[in-house]
Amino acid sequence: MYIRRSTRTYKDRTYTNYVLVESVQTPKGPRQKTICSLGDLSPRPREDWLKLAHKLEHALAGQGELLHGDVLPRDPELDGLVEKIRSRRRPPARPAAAPVPSPAAAAADAGAIAVDPRRVTTEQHREAGPVHVGYQFWNRLGLGDILRDLGIASSTRQLACAMILNRLIQPAAEHAMPDWIRRTALADILGTDFEALVEDPLYRVLDKLHPHRAAIEAALVERERRLFNLDRTIYLYDLTSTYFEGLAVANDKAQRGYSRDHRPDCKQVVIGLVVNRDGFPIAHEVFKGNTQDRTTLATMLDRLQARIGLPEGATVGDPRT
């Protein structure tokens, strides 16, 4: 349905009238069917005409109740137009026949709201399932509490949560992450408005977490061990490397060395990761790019002892290079 403006000139005077029309299919093609006259709508702004037509269409379809009650106050003008249209459509009463309530009326008597699913539209879709599950594990691991106890600000904790869930569900670079966050229900889950979020604050999150990484790893190892009843007696140690595009002059660990990525022309860093037998990370360390693999094991054992303490009888598997 939509509103159409019509004019008529009589005795050198022009009269303006607005009618509510709908398109109907006929054997001769689509035609416009006049529903009713709305009179002179000149006091109402033109940009509100389409909204009024949509409200009338929904109200006539039995969905008007959704716009009233505790959600929106009733609109007397809209109610009057709806009653006017219904009175024109209402067939003559049959005194001999008992009135048969319509399904919509029966539903209204039962306290339900009649909704035509063909006339329901949705907008601003949000993916809720994966982020909801991820957020539950964020809470069970106590990551928010760990960061709070380390003095991390609430806004940084929320962005860290969003970044971790992105890595878990649909990994993306910080540049693409704001759009992904807005496509999920994270704003509702975290109670934060992400509409104006850009990538720069996300880049700064890791800078704020990096000074606390040893404390974060130690606290996570202990919580994961209790939560999942993990075995602490076996560790696996592996190495990888990642290279930089550019000179990386501000990073003293960026050096040229043996490149697993076959990019000897680029500076790189070597990353060592320790996991337990169940595949849970225990600790990681970033070495200079020219560090030889065989020299890293002793360093990592010292770091493990300092951070989480090696349990009595703990064993270390062969380092994988």
In a shared domain, residues 113 and 149: no
Show which of 149, 181, 211 is a domain's final residue: 211
pLDDT in tens, 258-313: 999 999 999 999 999 998 888 888 888 999 999 999 999 888 888 888 877 765 55
In a shared domain, residues 35 and 75: yes
In a shared domain, residues 23 and 77: yes
In a shared domain, residues 50 and 81: yes
Show which of 84, 119, 154 is a domain's final residue: 119
Q: What percentage of the chain reaches a pLDDT higher than 90?
A: 43
In a shared domain, residues 13 and 90: yes
pLDDT in tens, 5-38: 777 787 778 777 777 777 777 888 777 777 777 7
Residue 224 forms part of a structural domain: no
In a shared domain, residues 156 and 189: yes
Number of domains in the chain: 3
Residue 221 forms part of a structural domain: no
> Residue 164: which domain range?
129-211
The C-alpha atoms of residue 134 and residue 251 are separated, in whole angstroms, by: 33
Residue 217 forms part of a structural domain: no
Backbone angles phi, psi at 202, to 5 degrees: -70, -40
In a shared domain, residues 138 and 198: yes
In a shared domain, residues 133 and 185: yes
In a shared domain, residues 235 and 258: yes
- Per-residue exposure over 246-272, b if at least 16 CB sit within 10 Å of its own CB, e if not: eebeeeeebbebebeeeeeebbbbbeb
Q: Residue 17, SS3?
A: strand
